[in-house]
Amino acid sequence: MVYRTRTYIAADWDNDSNAVQQLNYWNDNKYFSLSFTNAHDLQQARDSSLNCSIKRSLGERLDASHTFVLIVGNNTKTVRSGRCQYCNSYNSYGGYCARGYSVDNRSYIEYECEKAVKDGLKIIVLYNAFKVDRAKCPDVIRNVGIHMPMWGYGSNGQAVWNYQNVKTALG
């Protein structure tokens, strides 16, 4: 039996890695009281060339998670990485996997969001922005869970990471 104790973080790693790094910084720094066990510390997929292998590994990490955190940026809803069409085993002429796996045209983010909802995980959507813009959020979780911006303004009017918003959301 797998105990669901971890926190799973999903994001557009090409464009929103700064927000993921900030979450990990708050978690690892003893000055802050944010604390979670990252599901991505579990074993990684061995065959990184197959999108289905990667999704299987993501699924195992989601199965060990209690909380699903999606970081939404400008491109999150339109990211296509993970779709079978972008896998080197996909036969575009016949529309099938050359290695005999089933074809899955969801991106990694779509897969993660759908599985989190289906499995009933606690869902937190953090926007790498100053405000919540649900139009940028994948449809399956647009109206599910807690939605919170990660940015705010400091006392001097400068843009700052909003630790308190994130801490409240992760509660």
pLDDT tens string 53-111 = 888 888 888 998 999 999 999 999 999 888 877 777 777 777 877 777 788 889 999 99
Which residues are CB-neighbours of 51 under 8 A, at least 6 positions away?
Answer: 82, 83, 84, 86, 87, 104, 108
Quote the pTM value. Answer: 0.89
pLDDT, tens digit (0-9, with 9 covering 90-100), for 84-96: 777 777 777 778 7
Q: Report the 10 Å Cβ neighbour count for 85.
A: 12
Q: Which domains does the chain have, with CATH numbers?
A: 6-80+106-170 (3.40.50)
